[in-house]
Amino acid sequence: MPPSSDSSKPEAAPAPLALLDRDHSILAFNERVFDWARREDVPLLERLRYLCIVSSNLDEFFEVRAAAHLEAAGGRGSDGPYTPASFRALSEAAHDLVTRQYALFNDVLMPAFARERIQILSHSERDAAQRAWVHQYFEREVRPLLVPTGLDPAHPFPLVANKSLNFIVQLNGRDAFGRENDIAIVKVPRVLPRVIRMPDKLSGGRTLAVLLSSVIRAHLSELFPGRQVGQFSQFRVTRHSDLAVDEEEVNNLRTALRQGLEYRHYGQAVRLEVSASCDVHLADFLLQQFKLPELALYRVHGPVNLARLTQLVDLVNERRLMFPEHKPVWPLGFPVDGSLFERLREGDVLVHQPFESFDAVLALLREAVHDPAVLAIRQTIYRTGSDPELMGLLREAVRRGKEVMVVVELKARFDEEANINWAEMLEGIGAQVVYGVVGLKTHAKMLLITRREGRKLRRYGHLSTGNYNPRTARLYTDLSYFTSDGKLTEDMEQVFVHIAGQSRLAPMAKLLVAPFHLQKAMLERVAAMGEAAAAGKPARIIVKTNALTDEQLVRALLKAGQQGAVIDLIVRGACILPAQLPGVSDNIRVRSVVGRFLEHTRVFYFCQGEEEQLFLSSADWMSRNMLRRIELAWPVSDPPLRQRVIDECLVPYLYDGCDAWTLGPDGRYTRAEDCIGPDGLRHSAQLALAQRFAYPRGL
Assess contact for 519 and 627: CB atoms under 8 A: yes
Residue type, 28: A
SS3 (DSSP) at 282? helix
3-state secondary structure of 271: strand
Q: How far apart are CA 312 and CA 54, in angstroms?
A: 16
With 0-12 CB in 10 A as exposed, 13-18 as middle and 19+ as buried, what is 405? buried
Around 374, how many Cα atoms within 13 Å sit in the side-chain half-sphere?
26
600 is catalytic: no
Cα(626)–Cα(315) distance, integer angstroms: 43
Comparing CA positions, the residue from 177, 126, 130, 131 lying closest to residue 152 is: 177
Residue 532 and residue 608 in contact, taking contact as beta carbons nearer than 8 Å:
yes
Nearest to 95 by CA among 235, 298, 274: 298
Q: How far is CA 531 from CA 125, 199, 522, 527, in A?
A: 70, 70, 14, 6
Task: Give CA–CA dist 120/526, Å, rounded.
Answer: 54
What is the end-to-end Cα distance of the chain in Å, rounded? Answer: 84
Helices (H), 108-218: 110-115, 128-137, 212-218
Q: Nearest CA to 602 among 548, 549, 641, 528?
A: 548
8 Å CB contact between 604 and 633: yes
The residue annotated as part of the active site, out of 69, 219, 240, 443, is 443
Q: How far is CA 170 from CA 134, 150, 230, 476, in A?
A: 24, 10, 5, 47
Nearest to 293 by CA among 302, 303, 283: 283
Q: Find the helix or strand (DSSP H, E) in which 586 lies.
A: none
Contacts of 133 (CB under 8 A, 6+ apart): 198, 199, 202
Nearest Cα residue to 184 out of 142, 138, 151: 151
**Cα–Cα separations (whole angstroms), residue 15 to 18, 97, 554:** 8, 33, 16
Contact predicate 444/378, CB 8 Å: no
* Residue 447: how many other CB atoms lie within 10 Å: 22
Report d(CA 529, CA 568) in Å as an integer: 13
Whole-number CA gyration radius for the chain:
28
Which residues are catalytically annotated?
443
